[in-house]
A and B are shown apart, each in its own frame.
Chain A
């Protein structure tokens, strides 16, 4: 318990540091958001509008950095992340809450699928070393070595252009309104097939390879020999004695990859114009949309921290040696 409290404190400090960096970075850049806005709108603003923009962004009063910092925390805690330039005048928080579910749904689910599938295949490949499963490894490794954007483009050109089986872009069919209906859910699934499969194909090899090698190492351990001498079933030995121990390094890798779900799917979402967080970030960067970028970075930071916390807890549950007694 004290271990969890200590970790919790560590994460709070990390969070504070990340948010502070997030506050400082844009303020260290030359220019200000209003200048950026003016440039974006190409001088179609009169001086009144400019003055009101300054007031809107809170840049009219000359506040010290410290006062700005305190204000920043105040607005942050109220969930106010400012206004997006790209989607002006939509608040950043709204843009994020609209795009986050798409990313979590697509990349989150496929990351979990790739991990489970790859680990299970790795368990069998390592257990039955030298069987046909081993020929699978060069194939999957080849697939994962193809640059993702290229794999995505090939998938689009084959499965939505040559054979129009699946839509090439977007999160759901144009003309549908997001709602809880079978029609909408079906459309979402249909749109998720191509990006989903390409993510799994490109990432499954790493899990297979890592798990297979750990299985081979663990199978040589004495306790696996003991388990065989005990006359346990092959299944029990494979899962409780070999895989149970071999999966530990994969677990921390998995937790780290959970953290990158939010930010790491940039290419996927760009190739498939998927309405997720990565695509929003891409648009935000293109438009020098600082509040939006700040918001996305904040979400990514939070996701990485939560994923690390999950890794800690998972390890604690799976490996008794990491638990501290007393």
Chain B
């Protein structure tokens, strides 16, 4: 499968601090790529930088983001505006503040259509709005509702309906279900995956909840301290994560299926951007740390087909 979105050596700075280090990732057509990591690991920053939504003082000093052969980072604001939502839509935490509280949800969906499909008449846009709501299982009469009149789960569904309005190639979901309860989380994600099968878009799914990723994504990239430390098919990660950090993340969540395991956390706290440890950023918290870990950063190498790990333990095996 050819990639629809390819991120090459992307770095992001906040002022003089580097939040994302030379990240390369590709999203293949129709797949769900999971992006996992603790708060501050740079996963959302990476997504915002790739879609040119990063706010100052955030800055992209180097890298390329290729979408259908175009580098998104070199497009003009006008070219970008045409591409936004048409090709790449984003599902934010709709349950929180992603919907404008003083505009009805219908108008917020209509806004997208009016901007990107100027040929549509008012009736056609309204019909499309109703169609989208029923697609995500919301009664169509809720089109005139304001966000505060909807539950958190419904707001998230509205966000998804809005993201699908123009049938984009890629949907980026940034912590889409974090503020929702577990039952609603799974309903919404299950629905999203069914929609992906019928509509055929690709998904970048960003969350700190690796158990959700294991269940809903095809491939997972795990980020730590602004770097991808492991990337592998979801099943492989779940079955045999290679990086000690991935193992730690998996050990911090109870699995819903499969054999019982002991629940462990990761000792210590995520690294501070202002004082990144030398060498591998994870080594102060790593149970397997060796001398070399504190000296040099291991490179993200392919250890198997479609599997990359940045860890000295793996280098030693090779």
Contact = CB atoms under 8 A, between A and B. Distances in A.
Q: Verify that A and B bind, or say they do not.
A: yes
Interface in A189-239: 221-223, 225-233, 236
Interface of A: 221-223, 225-233, 236, 240-241, 244-245, 248, 318-321, 325
Given A318-B102, A321-B102, A321-B148, A231 B92 contact: no
A240 B100 CA distance: 9
B86 A231 contact: yes
B84 interface: yes
Contacts of A240: 100, 103, 111
A236 B115 CA distance: 10
Contacts of A319: 102
Contacts of B93: 222
Given A225-B92, A321-B146, A230 B84 contact: yes
Contacts, number: 78
The 6 closest A-B pairs by CB, nearest first: A231-B84, A320-B146, A223-B100, A222-B97, A222-B98, A231-B81
B53 A245 contact: no
B99 A229 contact: no
Contacts of B26: none
A211 to B, nearest CB: 16
Contacts of A236: 111, 115
B149 A325 contact: yes
Contacts of B238: none
B75 to A, nearest CB: 12
5 contacts: A223-B97, A225-B98, A231-B83, A231-B85, A233-B81
A105 to B, nearest CB: 33
Nearest to A130: B56
Contacts of B104: 320
Contact of A223 (B55, B98, B149): B98
B82 A226 contact: no
B112 A230 contact: yes
B51 interface: yes
Contacts of A248: 102
Interface SS of chain A: helix
Interface string B140-161: 0000001011000000000000
Nearest to B149: A325
Contact of A245 (B82, B92, B100): B100
Contacts of B82: 231
A319 B86 CA distance: 30
Given A230-B84, A231-B83, A225 B53 contact: yes
B116 interface: yes
A320 B149 CA distance: 10
Given A223-B100, A231-B81, A320 B148 contact: yes
Contacts of B83: 231
Given A222-B92, A325-B149, A231 B116 contact: yes
Contact of A229 (B53, B97, B101): B53
Contacts of A223: 97-101
Contacts of B100: 223, 226-227, 240-241, 244-245
Interface SS of chain B: loop
Interface in B100-132: 100-104, 111-112, 115-116
B96 interface: yes
Contacts of A318: 102
B90 interface: yes
A236 B80 CA distance: 16
Greatest chain B CB density within 10 A among A232, A236, A241 is at A232
Nearest to A325: B149
Contacts of A320: 101-102, 104, 146, 148
A227 B107 CA distance: 12
A226 B98 contact: yes
Contacts of A226: 90, 92, 98-100
B314 to A, nearest CB: 37
B244 to A, nearest CB: 34
Contacts of B81: 231, 233
B232 to A, nearest CB: 29
A220 to B, nearest CB: 8
A63 B117 CA distance: 77
Contacts of A229: 51, 53, 84-85, 89-90, 92
A222 B99 CA distance: 8
Given A226-B92, A231-B83, A240-B103, A221 B97 contact: yes
Contacts of B51: 229
Nearest to A220: B55
B311 to A, nearest CB: 35
Contacts of B98: 222-223, 225-226
Contact of A230 (B97, B115, B146): B115
